[in-house]
Structure 1
Amino acid sequence: GFVVDFIDFYWNTSHYPAFNIADAGIFVGAILIIWESFKPDTKTSQEQSSRD
């Protein structure tokens, strides 16, 4: 009646927080979108420099 999709890591005596693969994918996608928004638009810069 249920799906277990959490990953739980152990290293020796250390226990790391369990996480869900889908939630990790959403988080990584959001970080990539934010990162891309800070990058300069190189296509527009190249077009403007060729016009000058």
Structure 2
Amino acid sequence: MLGDQSSPLPGWQEGAMMSAHYVIGQIQGIIPLTVPEAVRVPDSVALTQGSR
């Protein structure tokens, strides 16, 4: 999977290039194959409808 779905950056082109760069680094052994820590993002429902 490459693109916006796996990138924190906006824009499909920038996200796709960053994801491809990351995967190439993993293939070359420069970037570890471990999953990074989960990133918490704002709850869109809470932001638009208020906290519950």
TM-score band, normalised by shorter chain: 0.3 to 0.5
Give the alignment's TM-score, normalised by structure 2. Answer: 0.38
Give the alignment's TM-score, normalised by structure 1. Answer: 0.38
